[in-house]
Chains A and B, each alone.
Chain A
Amino acid sequence: MDLYPLFNSIRISLISTAIVFFVGIFSAYYISKTNSIIKGILDVIFTLPLVLPPTVVGYLLIKLLGPNHFIGEFFLNTFDIRLTMNWWSAIFATTVVIFPLMYRTARGAFQSFDANLSDTAMTLGLSNSYIFWRIRMPYCKQGVIAGAILAFARALGEYGATSMIAGYTPGKTATISTTVYQLWRLNNDELAFRWIVINILISAVVLLFINIIESKYQRKGAKYGSLR
């Protein structure tokens, strides 16, 4: 059994989760601080990939990154790089699809943050980056980690947009989900079943992690609550 799809799926998921982790946190942080119409508009845009069909996301990505379109054409002509049909092309798809998960969980965590903490920290002479990393992030840690794990799990399961932008090339762009689809088309039930078991196991472990973190968060929430 060729384990390349497993390796490729995990590689893609890890990289896109890492990207989304930072971008999602900072978007959430700035959105939770602004208070205007822009906030409402950006919030809709950032959340949109969550509700759009993956095929729509894939279609839009191809129209942007495809070799005959806009950005894709630019990269092909200038750097001689084709942005689609590589193993890493799937990262574009998964990043866009999982971004709302990270963004929304982080935003929720930031909104529950007690502003008195940052206000007081400022009067103590602490810089904004110190306040962000040493006070706000530890306070919101559980929410942010839960968001990252959820995003990772979703990235592993991403199929629609990935298959459109990276396609299915065995040993090159194959992921678990595209492999399962191919095996079903080829009537290879035995191998398909193995991949399904692997997929279910990974997903179950991930969900278990989220539950553990959430129960920890609730206990800590009760502790923090007693401070007020």
Chain B
Amino acid sequence: MALYVDIKKKFGDFELDVKFNSESSDIISLFGLSGSGKSVTLKCIAGIIKPDRGNIVINDTVVFDSERKINLPPQKRRIGYLPQSYALFPSMTVKDNIKTGLINHKKSERETLVCELVDKFGLENVKNLFPHQLSGGQQQRVALARALSTSPKLLLLDEPFSSLDSQIKSQLMYDLIKSLDEFKSDVIFVSHNKDEVYSISDKVCTISNGYCHSIREKADAFSKPLCKTDALLLGCENILDITFRNGNRIVTDSGIEFEITDDIDFTSIAFYSDCVKFCTLGDINIKAKIKLIVEKESHSIFILQISDNKKFITAKLRNNDIDRYIVNDAVNIGLKKEDIFLLK
């Protein structure tokens, strides 16, 4: 199953420019902060919003092509769409909600198909209830059953976990992964949560300010952020701008100085806070002052300052190791070069 998306759309100052494709049946994550254009992209693919320019091809079917003036209505695209709010029809029971997707089937078939879906998604006990009588998890299952009832060629999931409590989220995530395993077509999963993205998807497209041009294997995307947005999305606590560069000698705005071996073009660097070691065994060793210690359940966050720089860096230490450090102490910290990401 193949998917090709290349769309552009202007909304006032905001410009959407999204391009990615996939050849195999994959779960593709559209990974970005809120307001980055994720939901709009889904709506364009579903046919709810018309892009200004571009193409959308699903399994050799051109559903949108601005040059050839093709724009299939949502009804003809065979796409399952699960919006953030689930959009269950409030005036219909669970069963009737699912039945809406089967409107093109014969009446006799409809009943059997609904029963199959009700059974598959464990909705037997609630099938005659109305949406407002269901829990968040049940609502999600109904919405998924309804979206899959049309046997879509592509499934779009818009932040399916955003309106749920974190306590019930993990169980629902396992359920969703199981359901998606059985679904043999492409899935586009929109999220701003890196744990969800990692657990659910095969491939990742990061999107920021409406711009998205790279699709990467999950492992690659998570181990090698390419730009500041990538690093931010992956939760890199330290994202530092280069303030001075002389040949291979680099100085950042936090005061970290080091030399690179390759002649690569980059404007910032990033590293995780747990890569900062409290020792001098790194490739880069610096003296820093502890400005603040924030205790968490299993570890503590150290906010560190190098000489008088305004930009601080963040380090992380397990709680049983923190007793010897107090605020305003000077410490030696070390960083390994391989832990530093060079960002464009």
Question: Which A residues fall within an 8 A CB radius of B?
Answer: 114, 116-117, 119-127, 130, 134-135, 138-139, 223-224, 226-228
Contact = CB atoms under 8 A, between A and B. Distances in A.
Contacts of B81: 119-120, 123
Interface residues of B, number: 34
B91 A119 contact: no
A124 B101 contact: yes
Interface stretch (B22-30, B42-50, B325-333): B42-50
B150 A124 contact: yes
Given A224-B90, A227-B90, A126 B103 contact: yes
B73 interface: yes
Interface string B287-328: 000000000000000000000000000000000000000000
B104 interface: yes
| Residue picked from B81, B87, B100, most chain A C-beta under 10 Å | B87
A121 B89 contact: yes
B83 to A, nearest CB: 5
B104 A227 contact: no
A130 B75 CA distance: 12
15 contacts: A116-B87, A119-B46, A120-B83, A123-B47, A123-B77, A123-B150, A124-B101, A125-B75, A125-B150, A138-B90, A223-B90, A224-B90, A226-B132, A227-B132, A227-B139
B51 interface: no
Nearest to B89: A135
Nearest to B86: A227
B74 A123 contact: yes
A122 B85 contact: no
A125 B77 CA distance: 9
Interface of B: 43, 46-48, 73-77, 79-91, 100-101, 103-104, 131-132, 139, 146-147, 149-150, 163
Contacts of B46: 119, 122-123
A135 B91 contact: yes
B91 A139 contact: yes
Nearest to B134: A227
B53 to A, nearest CB: 21
B48 A114 contact: no
Given A116-B83, A127-B75, A226-B132, A121 B100 contact: yes
B50 to A, nearest CB: 13
B132 A224 contact: yes
